[in-house]
A and B are shown apart, each in its own frame.
Chain A
Amino acid sequence: MSQDVALDHVTMRFGSVTAVRDVSLTIAAGEFFSFLGPSGCGKTTILRMISGFMEPSDGRIRIGGRDMRGIGPNKRPTALIFQNLALFPLMTVADNIAFGLEVRGVAAADRRRRVRELLELVALPEVADKKVTELSGGQRQRIAIARALAVEPAVLLLDEPLSALDLKLRQHMRAELRAIQRRTGVTFVYITHDQGEALTMSDRIGVMSRGVLEQVGDGQTVYDDPATAFVASFVGEANRFPGTVLDAADGRAAVDTPFGRLLGRNPRGLKAGDRAILFVRPERLAVAPDGTADNRVEARVSHRDFEGAFVNAFLTGAGDRRIVVQMPHLGSEPAFVPGAAATLTFRPADAVVLPPDGEA
């Protein structure tokens, strides 16, 4: 039985510091929602407010339509998976999973049956009698999930649970988490600073910066149509060309940059004279064989990183500005000899013009 989570003008202040500023958002029942942002952006504070360990200074949190004010974490229909998992080291795996059921007065036989089911769900049927300390990192991860799901929460809250795992395991656990979420249908609220995690797992992502929810949308929207300069630079790599808007028409804006006049989409409706930054993704830049395109950037190759499937070329242009170009390694890409001059081009549709941070 999953439920929706509604944040209604939620603000959290610690003394003079505002950790979360006026966040309003509804996470649908059964959705996999991620809060993405750098550390200190307020995402963990939001999670702790939803779980009940903190009360918002202002605003309401509703779960399944019920106002959660004054309801402690032990009475909320949520379960939290901690960053360090917080499994109980003195109990066996089975006792860990059964803890929430024990609290609810479930009979021993039913507890055992439920523990078996949950261990099946997380694909670890053999470990019930082991100690938590005998498990590997990935196994512990799954036990933490099983323990949280044992109480049949309407909302599962996850606080960067994969951050302690190595890369391979992390990628495997992403798929696993997503599969468990689909199978159980529980609303997942996931906290991460890793955009890869957020993009691959989530139905929707809320990008946060300094306590403000900058943008909410599915992964592709957030990546392709960032709403703010912060989102454009935090989610994925982006080349920045700051300048002043020369003229704006038909949803496009021309920006006067150190590289000359560059044209991009203008979703925020900036007007001539506004300060602006034009963002272009590294993979949307091309090396021009001729000189006919709208947007031309002259630069000089400084070095090249070979990543296998991709080649990243680092160039410097006017005013020592760094530019990154990413190309698939097809064998036909330019050599990017250090010191060589290159003309980069991009389509106006592949660039977005946004106001600088703190001026929107």
Chain B
Amino acid sequence: MTGVLHRYGPVLTGFIVLVVALWVVMLVVLPQILMIDFSLRPMLPPSRVGGPEDVYTLANYMTLWTNTIHLGIFVKTIWASALVTAVTLAVCYPMAFYLAQVAPKRRLPTFMMLLVIPFWINEILRTFAWYIILAYSGPLNNLLVGIGILDAPVRFQGDGSVILGMVYAYILFMVFPVYNAIESLDRHQIEAARDLGAGWLRIHWRIVLPHARPGIAVGCIMTFMLAAGSYAVPLLLGGPQSRWFTEVIYNWFFEGGNWNQGAAYAFILLVLCIGFILLMMRLFRVGLTDIAK
């Protein structure tokens, strides 16, 4: 703080602090407080708001535990997001390792462009592209039937396609942190392990993975948060049996008109995501400072 004061002087420092504080209060703290307030009150017709029935209650938070359908969707959202995270990591780790340690440096910009270009397109459009590819009479079915792997088209829409779509949507959020972590690993470490007789599996397990741990933690946290909070992918690629918890929240707000209930659900999801972050940090033994890097 004194460093900032010294560098920018009192006027500019005061301005910066004020702007940041305004930003945090207006855009983060106030809306959240409003939502917490909503979630703790019963839904009432406008005429009875502020009346004797308008008291603080945990009833909205209890709904989820009594509604087995919603609870089922909630649990499935969590484990499916964890699965998406695991699959994304499995896809991205070899890619990140290749880019960071194996690929010739002059090819790197090309590979990076290939990774980034699809992300210039809006997420909904990208997901819609998958929707078309996976459609009942879409190109994938036509291809598989055409070359004789399938006898008849298959309905891909469902849990599998949701996970596929999400892995695709969030690849970058995993690749870059993991790439950054592996890129900082001295190649001689790998060579030293190899020279001492280690095979590739052991080199990854003992040298590369431990070094990449903070990057993997960051990638997993981001992917999990995005997956758990995803709305477009499950909406477009999910079947009737694969609803996501975000859709339930949406329905409370905009179809049920019950903002109080929706806010409570949203907070349960938020608490769970924070819990996941803490768990990941514990699991990967990384601190906040490692992640900030």
> Which residues in A have some Cβ–Cβ distance to B below 8 Å?
51-53, 72-75, 78-80, 82, 84, 86-88, 90, 99-100, 103-104, 147-148, 151
Across the interface, do B197 and A100 meet the contact criterion of CB distance under 8 Å?
A: yes
Total residue contacts A-B, CB cutoff 8 A: 55
Q: Which A residues are in CB contact (< 8 Å) with B192?
A: 80, 82, 86-88
Q: Which B residues are in CB contact (< 8 Å) with A147?
A: 196
**In the bound complex, CA of A151 to CA of B192 (Å):** 12
Across the interface, do B196 and A99 meet the contact criterion of CB distance under 8 Å?
A: yes
Across the interface, do A151 and B197 meet the contact criterion of CB distance under 8 Å?
A: yes
Question: Which partner residue on chain A sits nearest B193 by CB separation?
Answer: A99
> Which residues in B have some Cβ–Cβ distance to A below 8 Å?
186, 188-189, 191-199, 202, 206-207, 210-211
Q: Which B residues are in CB contact (< 8 Å) with A73?
A: 191, 194-195
Q: A53-B191, A86-B191, A90-B210 are in contact. Are A100 and B196 (CB under 8 A)?
A: yes
Where chain B touches its partner, the secondary structure class is helix
Report the minimal beta-carbon distance from B192 to chain A, rounded to whole angstroms: 4
Across the interface, do B195 and A99 meet the contact criterion of CB distance under 8 Å?
A: no
Q: A90-B211, A99-B206 are in contact. Are A84 and B196 (CB under 8 A)?
A: no
Among A51, A87, A90, A104, contact of B195 (Cβ-Cβ < 8 Å): A51
Report the minimal beta-carbon distance from A163 to chain B, rounded to whole angstroms: 14
Q: A84-B188, A86-B186, A88-B207 are in contact. Are A103 and B197 (CB under 8 A)?
A: yes
Q: Which A residues are in CB contact (< 8 Å) with B191?
A: 53, 73, 80, 82, 86
Among A74, A78, A84, A99, contact of B186 (Cβ-Cβ < 8 Å): A84
Across the interface, do A78 and B195 meet the contact criterion of CB distance under 8 Å?
A: yes
Q: Which B residues are in CB contact (< 8 Å) with A80?
A: 191-192, 195
Q: A88-B207, A99-B206, A103-B202 are in contact. Are A72 and B188 (CB under 8 A)?
A: no
Across the interface, do B195 and A88 meet the contact criterion of CB distance under 8 Å?
A: no
**In the bound complex, CA of A106 to CA of B188 (Å):** 24
Across the interface, do B198 and A103 meet the contact criterion of CB distance under 8 Å?
A: yes
**In the bound complex, CA of A6 to CA of B112 (Å):** 44
Q: Which B residues are in CB contact (< 8 Å) with A104?
A: 197
Across the interface, do B207 and A74 meet the contact criterion of CB distance under 8 Å?
A: no
Q: Which B residues are in CB contact (< 8 Å) with A100?
A: 196-197
Among A52, A75, A88, A151, contact of B189 (Cβ-Cβ < 8 Å): A88
Q: A99-B206, A103-B202 are in contact. Are A86 and B188 (CB under 8 A)?
A: yes
Q: A99-B206, A103-B202 are in contact. Are A74 and B189 (CB under 8 A)?
A: no
Report the minimal beta-carbon distance from A187 to chain B, rounded to whole angstroms: 16
Across the interface, do A74 and B199 meet the contact criterion of CB distance under 8 Å?
A: yes
**In the bound complex, CA of A104 to CA of B193 (Å):** 12
The 14 sampled A-B contact pairs (Cβ below 8 Å) are A51-B195, A72-B194, A73-B191, A74-B195, A74-B196, A74-B199, A75-B197, A80-B191, A86-B186, A86-B188, A88-B192, A100-B197, A103-B199, A148-B196
**In the bound complex, CA of A87 to CA of B196 (Å):** 12
